[in-house]
Structure 1
């Protein structure tokens, strides 16, 4: 069983509304399934919307935020637990360790960094946890095309797409999460 899901996503408050709706449906569904949310600890953007939805529907939320972002008043204090760490690297390690699966919503450079790191770590055998790209409104299509390009150019093995699953809706994410037993690390 998946107990906690790490979600990587945007901190932008001006992202397109369909991404916010997708984040809210994801948060609600996690709570309804008794799956805890582990996330970057911010109250802004898709991060905040996901966390708020989990809390609204009675779920558990653990945020992990570096001190410098907490001090900028970006921290979400209305969640179950907020862990303040010293560095971004420490945050990323905890986000990776504390989740049994990863769901990646639309996001910017930070989200891309986190996504690439967990895919690389899976490729290197550091973990075997599910990675689910939530492709709201086709957001990840250009990146998926780039992945095909680097495979076509033989920069990665042809089985690169076995490291992740692309889902178009939160409901597809839940179908996969509901079917998975807790993965080994």
Structure 2
């Protein structure tokens, strides 16, 4: 993997109470289209989910929506996406979102967004993948989570050899450069070390 061709966006099915969250989702959708990077997301048409997908489509981008059948009505599935996959359950949805994506970004969102991005961090921590994971820390939204991770490390629940591998971006224009830097870092480690070695990455 030398560059990203698809990016999974985790984000809220609401807009939150800060207009910058919606502005950020729209700007990111436009950016992915301009960079010819496929957006992979949860398939809904509401909240930040709908904003980022419509923004990418409006600029000619490619969008893959992956949604479980029971959420088709609740999240008001967006039918105009380039590719729509309806799954049997959440487990299949998350697996397919992982398989279709080269990297992951969490915009502001609720407990579902938190669960999805932390799961990717956990899989990376356990050596199941080396795909970049990025928190889009818009207006400090993810600061409490980053502080919690630091508290876990200080309390010796995140131990040496099992460090979390993730990045933090505070604006849209930082996201792709930081992800690409991490891709290059991962590739360099892959080239230099046996594939069985687990090498922690410094947080960007």
TM range (shorter): over 0.9
**Aligned counterpart, 1:48:** 50
Higher Cα Rg: structure 1 or 2? 2
Aligned CA distance change for structure 1 residues 160 and 53 (closer, same or farther; 3 Å): farther
Q: Distance in 2 between matches of 1:116 and 1:122?
A: 10
Q: Are the equivalent residues in 1 in contact too, given 2:6–2:102 (CA < 8 A)?
A: yes
Q: Distance in 1 between matches of 2:74 and 2:13?
A: 13
Q: 1:96 aligns with which of 88, 98, 120?
A: 98
Q: CA deviation at 1:122?
A: 0.2
Matches within 5 A, 1:1-185: 1-72=3-74, 74-157=76-159, 163-179=165-181, 180=183
Q: CA deviation at 1:71?
A: 3.4
Structure ranking higher on relative contact order (CA contacts 8 Å, 6+ apart): 1
SS in 2 for 1:27: helix
- The gaps in structure 1 that reach 5 residues or longer are none
Q: Distance in 2 between matches of 1:171 and 1:14?
A: 21
Q: Distance in 2 between matches of 1:122 and 1:54?
A: 28
Count, aligned residues: 184
TM-score using structure 2 length? 0.84
TM-score using structure 1 length? 0.93
- The gaps in structure 2 that reach 5 residues or longer are 191-204
Q: Are the equivalent residues in 2 in contact too, given 1:133–1:165 (CA < 8 A)?
A: yes
Aligned CA distance change for structure 1 residues 37 and 162 (closer, same or farther; 3 Å): same
Q: CA deviation at 1:77?
A: 0.9
Aligned CA distance change for structure 1 residues 146 and 25 (closer, same or farther; 3 Å): same
Aligned CA distance change for structure 1 residues 132 and 160 (closer, same or farther; 3 Å): farther
SS in 2 for 1:163: coil
Q: Distance in 2 between matches of 1:16 and 1:125?
A: 36
